[in-house]
Copies of this chain bind each other. A is one copy, B any other.
Amino acid sequence: MIYERFIVVYRLIGEETVALQKAKVICLEQTVEVGDDLVPNGFIRDQVVGQLVQFAAVSAGVFEAHISYAVETSAFELTQLLNVIFGNSSIKAGIRVQRLELGEGLLSRFSGPRFGVAGLRTVIGVPDKPLLCTALKPMGLSAAEIAQLAYQFALGGIDIIKDDHGLTHQPFCPFDDRIRACCDAVARANQETGRHCIYVPNVTAPVTEIRRRVELAKEAGAGGLLIAPGLTGFDMMRAIAEDESVGLPLISHPAFLGSMVISPDNGIYHAVLFGQLQRLAGADASIYPNYGGRFGFSRQECQSIVDGCLEQMGHYPPIFPTPGGGMSLENVPDMLALYREDVIFLIGGALYSRSANLVENAQYFLSLVGR
């Protein structure tokens, strides 16, 4: 039989002969991991080895190679799919994963985002315009103090209130206490406002513990879950997304993933890492650093993430790009021009520092996005 194939587009640095050689080596490295002289003829050479299907210059010294792989090489496992895409080649200089073209046959083996943009809007009851999200911090506050912050932000109209991603189960703020207190606080605020703000606890945790935390969060009334796939592995997020007994929106955090985008000539392009891979692994919203904030992403890189989150990808719904940081009165017009409606703005420090009245601060940021 002839296997269906998926395509990975690699961006390669070097003179044409060097880049072409890199492309040919990737075909072997990502599959059979032997030299061409050791590849058996027949099935393995014809189907298992990656195939260079397109090679073109992008600019001086930069090329794009489209390499196709048999879907069966992935064993239909997210861990092994990531390995075929970039396992060993991640260790070689001048190779970047630029785009994935996975095809519906392969995509359908993974559930993808359970909610997506439309589903999350329904949960929160806000059919259009940007959503607002904030993070509960600083680390070191008690569960009661964190819950009091959540209450005020919910009163002020913030749609999504998440744990800061560093809050897990520290002795000074145990997970169970925080989650119960924050769920109660947000529920109380919702009763007063008539809104449907959700509290999204951070469930990033050891594999031996994460299931218990997810269940506790669900039972306590959490409206979604925050997870950092760089810390847990992408497949942990997928497993939670696909678990019918959980059934909560997932928000992905970029912690520990930075090395993959920090070098322009290596790693995984922003659109793939914060767009395509997030959807593949079931995130409904993908947090990343906004341009103009304290991280170095460019406006163009952020645009690519928007594309990766929203563009057609098999049967998967679009998900929310969720830029964090750098939101101030001055740059709102440009942010709205780039992000338009289907975006979650994650506002951190500015929401705390504008004034001592957190309810008013929240209302102010709502007004900035025309709500």
Contact: B44 with A79, CB < 8 Å?
no
B353 contacts A90, CB within 8 Å? no
Q: Which of B86, B164, B231 contacts A33 (CB 8 A)?
A: B164
A361 contacts partner chain B, Cβ-Cβ < 8 Å: no
Copies of this polypeptide in the complex: 2
A141 within 8 A of B: yes
Tell me if B79 and A38 are in contact (CB < 8 A): no
Are A169 and B34 closer than 8 Å at their CB atoms?
Answer: no
CB of A38, distance to nearest CB on chain B (Å):
6
A residues 7-31 touching B (CB-CB < 8 Å): 25, 30-31
CA distance A42 to B83 in the complex (A): 47
CB of A278 within 8 A of chain B? Answer: no
| Assembled-state Cα–Cα distance A294/B294 (Å) | 37
B233 with A83: CB separation less than 8 A: no
Please pick, from B44, B47, B72, B266, the residue contacting A141 in the complex, using a CB distance under 8 A. B44
> Does A369 sit at the interface, judged by CB under 8 A?
no
The answer on a CB contact under 8 Å between B255 and A34 is no
**Contact A37/B353 with A83-B165, A93-B296 known, Cβ cut-off 8 Å:** yes
A170: CB under 8 A from chain B? yes
**Interface locus among A100-108, A204-212, A217-225:** A204-212
Interface 9-mer from A52-60, A132-140, A191-199, A315-323: A132-140
Q: A33 touching B91 by the CB < 8 A rule? A: no
Contact present for B32 and A138 (CB under 8 Å)? yes
B-contacting residues, A65-80, CB 8 Å: 72-73, 75, 77-80
Contact A43 B206 (CB under 8 A): no
Bound complex: CA A230 to CA B260 (Å): 12
Contacts of A352 in B (CB 8 A): 34, 38
Query: What is the CA–CA distance of A147 and B35 in the complex, to the nearest angstrom?
Result: 21
| Distance of A3 from chain B, by nearest CB (Å) | 9
Q: How far is the CB of A174 from chain B (nearest CB, A)?
A: 9
> Inside 8 A of A47's CB, which chain B residues have their CB?
140
Choose from B231, B258, B295, B348 the contact partner of A82 (Cβ within 8 Å): B231
* B33:A139 contact, CB within 8 angstroms: yes
A254's nearest neighbour on chain B, judged by CB, is: B91
Q: Does A336 contact B (CB under 8 A)?
A: no
Between-chain CB contacts (< 8 Å), 8 pairs:
A33-B164, A35-B349, A44-B139, A44-B140, A72-B170, A80-B168, A87-B256, A90-B257
Query: Which 8 residue pairs spanning A and B have beta carbons closest together?
Result: A90-B258, A233-B233, A91-B258, A32-B138, A87-B255, A44-B140, A48-B140, A263-B263
